[in-house]
Amino acid sequence: MQHKNTGIKRIVMATIYSIHGLKAAMKSEAAVRQEVVAIIILVPVALWVDVSLLEKLTLICSLLLVLITELLNTAIETVVDRVSFDQHELSGKAKDIGSAAVFISLLVASICWFSILITRYA
């Protein structure tokens, strides 16, 4: 029987696994690297613009939503590729749905940034 980590050790191990996952995604996926660069550039912009705290949080969280969705999409694609590299309708469908989720998260982030900034600076 495998012993499961509990308490603080579980939190520490989960954090370590999460960092490993982020590093793996950064290493293998250009989209993840691009989104991390966008976050590095746009979070300071969000903190700098003259908007309310809630609007700043919305700007930052919308960027993190894109990264979260991209990571989940990468996980889906990795599992599909692990199962088989053969062309299969369901594999293509899973990858397309993951891609659609990323697209929608990008749309949400764009709407947040556009609507907050345009109402403030237009």
* % of the chain exceeding 90 in pLDDT: 83
Examine the residue annotation and report whether 89 is marked as an active-site residue of this protein: no
H-only helix segments in the chain: 7-28, 30-48, 53-83, 89-121
User: Exactly one of 69, 70, 105, 112 is catalytic; which is it?
Assistant: 70
Mean pLDDT (the chain) is 94
- State yes or no: pLDDT of 122 exceeds 90: no
- State yes or no: pLDDT of 33 exceeds 70: yes
Reference 75, options 53, 57, 51, 101; nearest CA is 101
Annotated binding site for ATP: 10, 17, 29, 77, 95-96
Can you give the pLDDT at residue 30? 96
Domain locations in the chain as residue ranges: 30-121
pTM beyond cutoff 0.85 = yes
Can you give the pLDDT at residue 102? 98
| Domain covering 30-121 in this structure, CATH number | 1.10.287.3610
